[in-house]
Structure 1
Amino acid sequence: MRSEQRPDDGPEGFPPPGDLPLELNRFVGRAVELADLTRALDGSRLVTVTGAGGVGKSRFAARAAALASVSPGYDGVRRVDLATVREADLVEYALASALELADQTSRPQRDVLLGHLAERQLLLVVDGFEHLVDTCATLVRDLLSAAPGLRILAVGRRPLSVEGEVVFPLSPLALEDAAELFADRAAALLPGFGLDDSNRADVVEVCRRLDCLPLAVELAAGRLRALSPPDLLRRLDDRFRLLTGSTRGALPRHQTLRTAIGWSHELCTAEERLLWARLTVFSGQFDLDAAEYICGGDGLHADDVLDVLSELIAQSVVIRDEAGSAVRYRMLDSVRAYGAEWLEALGDAGRMRRRHRDWYMGLATWCELDWFSPRQAEVAARIEVELPNLRAALEFCLTEPGEVYLGQYLAGTLWFFWTGCGRLSEGRHWLERGVELDEDNPDDEHSRSRLKALWVLGYVAILQGDTVPALAALHECREEAERLGDATAVAYAVHRTGCLALITDDLPRAEELLRTALAGYREIGELNSSVLMGQVELAMAVAFRGDLAGAVELCEDVRLICEDHGERWTLAYALYVLAYAAWTKGDLARARKLLRECLVIGDTFHDLLGTVLSLELLALVTLSEGDAAEAALLQGAAGRIWPSVGLPLFGSLYFNAPHELCASDARAVLGEGQFEMFVQVGSRLEPGEAVARAVGRGAAPRPPVMPSPRPVRTAPETREPAASGETTG
């Protein structure tokens, strides 16, 4: 039985759900196995597809997940690829990334995952876990125990050995399907190729000799541009004869695959073999620019990389992936492992890993600069897709003698991603690893890399609400920076210490430190998103101290600079302050417009802090417009987000005052019962749903509310927010 769906089709014409990989060529065979696996998933919450390398486990599981996802038993499907994860400590971060889970607290990542999945009806595909089996087994067991609606489809060369697991061994293709696969892939290279009486026997015998392993068959088909089926069979037969001593000897399937890969390797040109080996330094996908820089030179000119890469794609050694207009490349694990052995044998692995590290260090540096530009969203997306390679570069630096300072610099340089794109927990993981490592006799340049990691660590810890470690890191950074005369590090340490004072309600100290930091930035000519954020934080401090006009002036200045540079992330926080000012003046339409823009920006960058602050203030604006029910609902939506951000409203009296005002007035209008009902309705909204509702892209129905004769305050004319501590920034 054969599948006839086209490569861009999901099941029954649906697009591929979740983040399952797009199929770029036809899925062949496996109809019976797909039906059996679907039944296994219906009957068990953990099914593990096992099989030898090259048997097609990943693609088979992705197809099965796509088919299962359209059933009413699931409200979503997600896939996490652990093949690129080398350290057990990163498994949970990889899963959080696959779930698009932005948690900015200092809670253990496992607790975050358990809480997120607890009430979801989700099918989770966990692929490529075998090198991390103990860690993955424990995590899978905990997830299934905590989330009754979760089902897991695991994919690996061995079972997880978790209680309740159903093992689904995947066999090679049937001979007929293997021959069809060969013909399909050959036709992509040689239009018009098909099985007929002149070639069928040779093709079938090639597939038989390759044990009908899909990867081995595809590698063989990739050779038809240079070899006829009879020539291909003869060369393959010679290869097997060398290994078995006769044409009758049988090889184990893992040796069959290795033989097929090795045979394909032998048929490559010297340049193709060299590029194959060098490409193995990449973790996951890569683009052409990276391949040309890292792999070019010393026997392979950079200008020739594209042509050689194209040949490896034609031979199924490299896979070409497309996402929109972007083209990226990757290697299957078995092929990559074979090439990595050759790279080690060439004695070139260390040099290539350093070139890999240098490229991604340069990418991070460029992105840090470009974050302060109209390309912020592009930068965020680029770092997201390159995260596996950045992790590999960080791991190399932090484990290689003499390279630690570069790891500290790289972790610090990615501050904009950790803080601006909801990756605080992983950022803190790398930053803490970096600053805990001491190199022997580091020079001043090495020390400056550590200073950057320290102030970024302090910043991340502040945003997580972890004030003691934050203060310790910032104090160490400032002391060492003053000793070295590093004015830049001093300014950042002072700035972030001022931010810490702000959220802990020490307003005089916050204002003093923030003004000192801004003066330091001006003196050294530093201007970027972080510097402007310092000005917004100063605006919050002066507003809390009673000078709302001064706060507006500071934020209007930030707004002009952001618009001039195309900056969006910091702009959202400036607009938030301006929205509060508009509300105090009774200009509710302007306040709502500004907050909608804040929410769109926060959603773009997965910035939960900016999102939840804007929702809180929008609830107050909505109440002032006369809709107490919607205000309560928005407070409920914000309440759901706060546990993923940290201590609600930082535990600050100043930041909390508008929330308390809104809750008090809405409760008075609705009555306790109705108020709590609408809060509960809001608490069921996902962050994305709450943002969509708030900006008018769609609103879920809400329960009816009985009108109340009690008026709602529409402007704060009866109180002095700044003087009474009710102003927020």
Structure 2
Amino acid sequence: MRRTSRPHSLTAAPPRPGNLPHELNRFVGRSAELAAFDCALSATRLVTVTGSGGVGKSRLVAHALARTAADAAPADGVWRVELAPVRREELVEHAVVEALGLTDHTPRPPRQVLVDHLAERRLLLVVDGFEHLVDACAALLRDLLRAAPGLRVVAVGRRPLALEGERLFPLAPLTAADAVELFADRAAALLPGFDLDDGCRDDVLEVCRRLDCLPLSVELAAGRLRALSPRRLLERLDDRFRLLTGGGRDALPRHQTLRTTIGWSHELCTPAERLLWARLSVFCGPFDLEAAEYVCSGEDLPADTVLDTLDELLAQSVVAREETPAGVRYRMLDTVRAYGAEWLAGIGDQGRMQSRHRDWYLGMATWCELEWFSPRQSAVAARVEAELPNLRAALEFCLTEPGQTHLGQYLAGTLWFYWSGCGRLSEGRHWLDRSIALDRGDADGDEEAGHGEAGGQGEHGGARLKALWVLGYVAILQGDTVPALAALQECHDAAERGGDATALAYAVHRTGCLALVTDDLPRAERLLRDALVRYREIGELNSNVLMGQVELAMTVAFRGDLAQAAALCEDVRQVCEDHGERWTLAYALYVLAYADWAEGRLARARALLERCLAIDHEFHDLLGTVLAVELLALVTVAEGDAAEAAVLQGAAARIWPSVGLPLFGSAHYNAPHALCEAKAREALGDARFEELTRAGERLGHDEAVSRALRNANPPPPRPRAVGRRRAETQVVLHPLSAEGDPGTGGQRA
């Protein structure tokens, strides 16, 4: 029997199981979230579902509880109170009373009415849209939960209530697959016969991705199909706030357009929170606290207040917090970021914020280049990977703003270790080509006069020279020899005219490397030895210098002097171990393994190559990886397993197109490959060899590495796009401005 309290003064509305609204269209996706929500609700009496505007918090809760109501609803029902229309804190209690259908004619305050009514009931209360009334709502729910042991509460809002016993349930956007399904479902309701298979699936996927897979944004976008095709819709998304308007007549006012949805959160922010929101929009992708403090602080927002202000934006789901293997990072959804960017432009502060953002990432890149030659090499690689979206934004700013080309050249050149060592040759080539091309016309004119940046004597000539030798290096690794030679020759001539010994040493070194991969071994040896002498004279010691010694070792090995090659690489190995350097070490191990294979020491060669491959795989160094796999195939066929050697050659063939010209088109680099193929074909026959090679080509990258390591568990590749720990955030800011000269040098011992 249903129990009531104080029947003499309180009458309830006619008995009913609750007031949850019925769903009018199909609920899409979220199966994992629904299961997790059910578990959370069964484990605690207060669950607060948080998330950004439009992420689908209310709909998920309504759907989850509708299922509960159909199966095992609380005895006294599931009741929902919508607080968005309530503007004053003292009216919160009245809104709950009204939602429960209660009337009371006594002088008791409404809170007491609620306590008395709920005291002995088993009831689930949904409080939706409380974020603008959080203090009053939290105080009321605390009292009700204490007084009514049979009460459970689901709070739905953009921030926590911060109550004891509260279990947070942060809701993320949809997966891409669920977002596409939602778009298709709403589009089909609007346009009968709409089908994703009509050649528009890719456009719809990109629309959903550009809208952060926010359910509200996706539904509003689908509503535009009355007038626009998916392709036209995609083209107009740059002005998403103007495009995505409408929504159903029964939608809450704050949900009828994307702008008002985000604006609802903006209205709830203090002036300091709004200012930080606007300034944070300058970041692309994840950022850390130190970056936010540097970039966003000022007289109107002191650095020591940024943390507390950021914490409030986190609480309101404007900013999301991410736990990564390397520590905590923050990000804003693109839609939220775009809203902040409009405000930043409106207050006229966009250029200054972009300049501060650029300075931070120039300083970070400088620090990372220095730290690359250290035991922190893996952490540096992971950090640059995590910061890549922001580094791209800084590069783009430098290369599009007048007077900043030299800063773009410096930044693109400073990241040489990332382009060459972490599988980003193509992207590095893009930025380097752009930065050099921007002032090439001016530089050519200056060359004729014998002065200016091209001569290395201009105010910012050092940045250009650094970009030139790095461009040459990246082009060499891609097997693109003509542009490589042009860049290195330009760097050499300009550095020689300007007396820049550092840039000249790098130009000589990389020209020697080019001679090596184009089979001009005598010239390669002469230039590489010359470069190493120059490095010693200027006191240069870093991964580049050690790589020059490895390249010299490979040159003399190809010329038949395996003993000298091994001695050179043993010296490199010792220096690497002394300094904690591992990237160059992998290449030294490769040369040592080559020498051991040539001398018939197969077990030792395999052990060296397995260590080499593990390091290359960790750094995502595709060139090092594919060279190691090629040589492992040769060792494998020498060990008598021709079938496995054929599989490994196939795996290498699949990787090469992601690097550049296979084996640089070099007869010397190709010799082990050709020998392996000849031996394997002889043992297997052409048909079987081709069959096994095709099997190798079907292996994914990680599978190929695992196979090369004899199906052992290879060390996992360094996670892409991760953050870093607080202990690793002591960034030495490079004191750069648009007027500064970043220079050219590498790391010096």
TM-score, structure 1 length as denominator? Answer: 0.65
**Structure 1 residues 162 and 210, CA gap change in structure 2 (3 angstroms):** closer
The partner residue of 1:621 within 626, 635, 639 is: 635
Deviations 1:311-339 (A, max 9, x none): 11112222222223522112233433333
The partner residue of 1:653 within 655, 667, 688 is: 667
**Structure 1 residues 395 and 545, CA gap change in structure 2 (3 angstroms):** same
Following superposition, the deviation at residue 29 of structure 1 comes to 6.1
Conservation of the 8 A alpha-carbon contact between 1:5 and 1:27: no
The partner residue of 2:261 within 257, 268, 273 is: 257
Conservation of the 8 A alpha-carbon contact between 2:207 and 2:233: no
Q: Which residue of 1 aligns with 2:407?
A: 406
Q: Which residue of 2 aligns with 1:292?
A: 293
The partner residue of 2:174 within 39, 60, 66 is: 60
What letter corresponds to residue 541 of structure 1 in structure 2? T
Distance in 2, matches of 1:662 and 1:512, equals 30
SS of residue in 1 equivalent to 2:286: coil
> Structure 2 matches for 1:38-77, cutoff 5 A?
59-62=173-176, 64=178
Please state if 1:126 is matched with 2:130: no
Greater RCO structure (CA 8 Å; 6+ sep): 2
> Structure 2 matches for 1:89-168, cutoff 5 A?
125-126=205-206, 161=229
Deviations 1:334-372 (A, max 9, x none): 433333233234332222111110100011111111111
Q: Which residue of 1 aligns with 2:253?
A: 210
Following superposition, the deviation at residue 381 of structure 1 comes to 1.6
Distance in 2, matches of 1:433 and 1:552, equals 40
**Structure 1 residues 386 and 288, CA gap change in structure 2 (3 angstroms):** same
Conservation of the 8 A alpha-carbon contact between 2:220 and 2:245: no
Conservation of the 8 A alpha-carbon contact between 2:221 and 2:233: no
SS of residue in 2 equivalent to 1:386: helix
SS of residue in 1 equivalent to 2:322: strand
Distance in 1, matches of 2:396 and 2:692, equals 47
SS of residue in 2 equivalent to 1:622: helix
Q: Which residue of 2 aligns with 1:521?
A: 535
Distance in 1, matches of 2:391 and 2:640, equals 49
**Structure 1 residues 161 and 417, CA gap change in structure 2 (3 angstroms):** farther
SS of residue in 2 equivalent to 1:665: helix
**Structure 1 residues 539 and 552, CA gap change in structure 2 (3 angstroms):** same
Please state if 1:556 is matched with 2:570: yes
Distance in 2, matches of 1:660 and 1:254, equals 61
Distance in 2, matches of 1:304 and 1:655, equals 58
Q: Which residue of 2 aligns with 1:372?
A: 373
What letter corresponds to residue 64 of structure 1 in structure 2? D
Q: Which residue of 1 aligns with 2:349?
A: 348
The partner residue of 1:583 within 588, 597, 601 is: 597
Q: Which residue of 2 aligns with 1:391?
A: 392
> Structure 2 matches for 1:307-706, cutoff 5 A?
307-324=308-325, 326-438=327-439, 444-697=458-711
Between Structure 1 and Structure 2, how many residues are aligned?
527
Conservation of the 8 A alpha-carbon contact between 1:129 and 1:155: no
**Structure 1 residues 277 and 426, CA gap change in structure 2 (3 angstroms):** same
Conservation of the 8 A alpha-carbon contact between 2:203 and 2:234: no
**Structure 1 residues 342 and 122, CA gap change in structure 2 (3 angstroms):** closer
What letter corresponds to residue 635 of structure 1 in structure 2? Q
Q: Which runs of 5+ in 1 are unaligned?
A: 14-22, 35-53, 69-120, 132-152, 176-206, 214-251, 700-729
Q: Which residue of 1 aligns with 2:8?
A: none
Distance in 1, matches of 2:387 and 2:233, equals 33
Conservation of the 8 A alpha-carbon contact between 2:176 and 2:209: no
Following superposition, the deviation at residue 165 of structure 1 comes to 11
Distance in 2, matches of 1:155 and 1:691, equals 45
Deviations 1:67-116 (A, max 9, x none): 99xxxxxxxxxxxxxxxxxxxxxxxxxxxxxxxxxxxxxxxxxxxxxxxx
SS of residue in 1 equivalent to 2:173: helix
**Structure 1 residues 333 and 643, CA gap change in structure 2 (3 angstroms):** closer
Conservation of the 8 A alpha-carbon contact between 1:276 and 1:339: yes
Q: C-alpha root-mean-square deviation of aligned residues, in Å?
A: 4.0
**Structure 1 residues 33 and 597, CA gap change in structure 2 (3 angstroms):** farther
Conservation of the 8 A alpha-carbon contact between 1:408 and 1:452: yes
> Which range moves more in the overlay, 553-562 or 661-670?
661-670
Following superposition, the deviation at residue 628 of structure 1 comes to 1.2
Deviations 1:108-137 (A, max 9, x none): xxxxxxxxxxxxx99995366769xxxxxx
**Structure 1 residues 460 and 624, CA gap change in structure 2 (3 angstroms):** same
Following superposition, the deviation at residue 4 of structure 1 comes to 8.2
Distance in 1, matches of 2:317 and 2:172, equals 16
Conservation of the 8 A alpha-carbon contact between 1:210 and 1:260: no
Conservation of the 8 A alpha-carbon contact between 2:206 and 2:234: no
Following superposition, the deviation at residue 170 of structure 1 comes to 10
SS of residue in 1 equivalent to 2:260: helix
Q: Which residue of 2 aligns with 1:234?
A: none
Following superposition, the deviation at residue 645 of structure 1 comes to 2.0
Following superposition, the deviation at residue 597 of structure 1 comes to 1.0
Following superposition, the deviation at residue 546 of structure 1 comes to 1.7
Deviations 1:389-423 (A, max 9, x none): 11111111111111111111001001111111111
**Structure 1 residues 320 and 58, CA gap change in structure 2 (3 angstroms):** closer
Conservation of the 8 A alpha-carbon contact between 1:364 and 1:414: yes
Distance in 1, matches of 2:36 and 2:684, equals 47
Distance in 2, matches of 1:253 and 1:290, equals 32
Q: Which runs of 5+ in 2 are unaligned?
A: 1-22, 40-48, 64-156, 159-169, 183-200, 212-217, 236-242, 444-451, 714-749
Deviations 1:493-548 (A, max 9, x none): 11111111001100000000101111111111111111111111100111111211
Conservation of the 8 A alpha-carbon contact between 1:498 and 1:509: yes
The structure that has the greater radius of gyration is 2
Following superposition, the deviation at residue 555 of structure 1 comes to 0.5
Following superposition, the deviation at residue 462 of structure 1 comes to 0.9
> Which range moves more in the overlay, 255-264 or 318-327?
255-264
Distance in 1, matches of 2:220 and 2:529, equals 55
Conservation of the 8 A alpha-carbon contact between 1:29 and 1:173: no
Distance in 2, matches of 1:355 and 1:398, equals 16
Q: Which residue of 1 aligns with 2:16?
A: none
SS of residue in 2 equivalent to 1:300: coil
Q: Which residue of 1 aligns with 2:141?
A: none
Conservation of the 8 A alpha-carbon contact between 2:245 and 2:258: no
Conservation of the 8 A alpha-carbon contact between 2:374 and 2:581: yes
Deviations 1:243-274 (A, max 9, x none): xxxxxxxxx62453365245234xx1x32232
**Structure 1 residues 338 and 650, CA gap change in structure 2 (3 angstroms):** closer
Conservation of the 8 A alpha-carbon contact between 1:280 and 1:340: yes
Following superposition, the deviation at residue 426 of structure 1 comes to 1.2
Following superposition, the deviation at residue 668 of structure 1 comes to 1.4
Following superposition, the deviation at residue 11 of structure 1 comes to 12
Distance in 2, matches of 1:278 and 1:582, equals 57
